[in-house]
Amino acid sequence: GGGGGGGGGGGGGDGSPTTPAPVPSPTTASPVGGSTGGCADDPDWHGKFNKAHTCAYIGGAPTQRCQWENANGVSALDACEETCGECDGNETDPPIDPNPVTQAPIPSPVTASPVEGSTGGCVDDPNWHGKFNEAHTCAYIGGAP
């Protein structure tokens, strides 16, 4: 007789020892000496003031935007390594975009000659606001509460 012994508790299925899955290393460390192994943009990073300011957005004007930070103080330069030219040991110049995004020139304010019928004083345009946020009015730019 005898009853068989109970089976042994399940195991790993094929009889080989069970090993934990390897944990990938974080990609936030800068690559060393031209390594391209971990150089990539962080898909979760965005600027501290606008969630739409991702690494892809940073790529539209990397010279200015790679210095931006998120709410945790992590710069785009660190989080958007590929976009900001931090791969292959290049740590100073952002990539050159063959199709750069250029912004329209901002006209100089007319202050020398008063507009006909004006009181001669300088006046903010009550209809002006920032390109990306209507709350960015002249008062906002001027630091008014």
How many angstroms separate the CA atoms of 74 and 78, rounded?
7
CA-CA-CA-CA torsion sign (105, 111, 116, 117): positive
How many angstroms separate the CA atoms of 105 and 1, rounded?
95
DSSP three-state, residue 80:
strand
According to the model, what pLDDT value does residue 38 have? 72
According to the model, what pLDDT value does residue 131 have? 79
According to the model, what pLDDT value does residue 48 have? 94
Averaged over successive runs of 10 residues, the pLDDT of the chain (145 residues) comes to: 53 54 52 56 94 95 94 94 80 54 62 52 81 81 67
Buried b (16+ CB within 10 A) or exposed e, 14-39: eeeeeeeeeeeeeeeeebeeeeeebe
pTM, two decimal places: 0.38
